[in-house]
Amino acid sequence: MKSLYLTAFFATAALAATPAIGIITATGHFNVGGSEVWGNATLFDGTVVMTTAASTELALRNGVRLQLGAGSKARVYADHIALDSGVGQVAQAAPFEMDAAGLKIRGSGLRVDLGQPGKTVQIAALTGGAKVFGSGEVLLASLPAGRHMSLAFQAAQSGALTRSGCLLFKDSHFIIQDDDTQEVVELAGNAQDLSKNLGNRVEIKGTASAAKPAVSPATSVLTVASVSPKSQGGCLVVASALNAQTTMPAAGTPATAGASSAPASASSGGGLSTGAKTAIFLGIAGAGGGAAAAVLLTEKKKSTSP
């Protein structure tokens, strides 16, 4: 009996030594730290919360308001929440972090849905912007308020991403504006492949880069693995809004794609409704200090699509 009293005493002392970070409430029952609770309970740093048929409201002492959907599980901390399954939502004025599937998602109002475990993560920026980081704090996406995106579970470690939108050229760099998120992403890769689809809507697969974008208003850099055309033209309005081009410059601007040093020449194949065909011939005189001669031949096809 004495040992039982001592155990209870030390358990109470341990809880008292750990400051509460907030409270949790629900209309039904839920599980906190392995114990079933009805109505409400106190939250401590690192508390594991599991919901059943009802959603729960979490109010932290720092002013953050959180929600966990029915059938969700998360570990709650004073400065972030780690979502293991289900749906989590953050609603507050200052940025807060939600970790899910290896991703770190930070925003002032966001919703994360793990959906089918092991497949995709649905992220929505509700009342403010949200940034998504993968392994090594590499920025994977930057979502404006009101936008959403889906990421594969593998994206956290591999940084593998898919972007669809208008492929454009600005300040000697290739860029794409994502149709879903409206983000502008700088593209690093083979300039020859990219130039073939300038001014067209494309799907680009690649890997997020830790490099900082060199062109405004790009927020991140994607190292391109493949470019697949979706439709020709239709990017003049987007290009005008971004002060970008749908064709390669006529002369005087090196056509580089991020870190790529490949020349921006297009093949004679199709898909060049808004692109440019460029051939460069360099003739260099003999070894006696002769001058170099360069001939630049440019043939353009203009898009009439809006």
CATH number of the domain residue 53 falls in = 2.60.120.1440
Given pLDDT bands bounded at 50, 70 and 90, which one contains residue 276? very low
Residues 22 and 148 reside in one and the same domain = yes
How far apart, in whole angstroms, are the C-alpha atoms of residue 124 and residue 100? 13
Out of 127, 158, 189, pick the residue that ends a domain.
158
Question: Domain check: are 127 and 191 in the same one?
Answer: no
Q: Which of 158, 177, 193 is the last residue of a domain?
A: 158
- Report CA-CA distances (Å) from 86 to 57, 118, 120, 164: 14, 12, 12, 27
CA 135, 225, 262: angle at the middle one, nearest 5? 115
Is there a single domain that holds both residue 149 and residue 267?
no
Instruction: State the pLDDT at residue 115.
Output: 77
Quote the domain boundaries for residue 283: 168-218+229-300
Note whether 153 and 258 are same-domain residues.
no
Owner of token pair 């692109």: 275
Residue 137 and residue 186 in one domain: no
Question: For residue 11, is it within any domain?
Answer: no
- Judged against a pLDDT cut of 90, whether residue 259 lies above it is answered with no
Indicate whether 21 and 149 sit together in one domain.
Answer: yes
The verdict on residue 10 lying in a domain is no
Q: What is the largest CA-CA distance in the chain?
A: 104
Taking the whole predicted model, whether its pTM rises above 0.95 is answered as no
Q: How many domains does the chain have?
A: 2
Q: For residue 17, name the pLDDT band (cuts at 50, 70, 90).
A: low
Looking at the structure, tell me whether residues 58 and 130 fall in a common domain: yes
197 in any annotated domain: yes
Whether residues 189 and 67 share a domain: the answer is: no
Please name which of 169, 136, 147, 155 lies closest in space to residue 235, comparing C-alpha atoms.
169
Model pLDDT for residues 200-247, shown as the tens digit of each residue = 999 999 999 999 999 999 999 999 999 999 999 999 999 999 999 999
Give the residue from 118, 134, 158 where a domain finishes: 158
In a domain, 93, yes or no: yes
153 and 23 in one domain? Answer: yes
Report pLDDT for 156. Answer: 82
Instruction: Could you list the beta-strand ranges (E) of the chain.
Output: 20-32, 35-44, 47-51, 56-60, 65-68, 73-76, 80-85, 87-100, 103-113, 120-125, 130-133, 139-143, 148-152, 160-170, 173-178, 184-188, 201-209, 220-231, 276-284, 292-300
Rg of the chain, C-alpha, whole Å:
27
pLDDT value, residue 95: 82
Residue 148 to residue 299: CA distance in whole angstroms: 40
- Mean pLDDT for the chain overall: 79
State yes or no: pLDDT of 284 exceeds 50. no
What is the mean pLDDT of the segment spanning 176-191?
94
Task: Kindly state whether residue 179 falls inside one of the protein's structural domains.
Answer: yes
- Confirm whether 28 is domain-assigned: yes
> Same structural domain for residues 188 and 144?
no
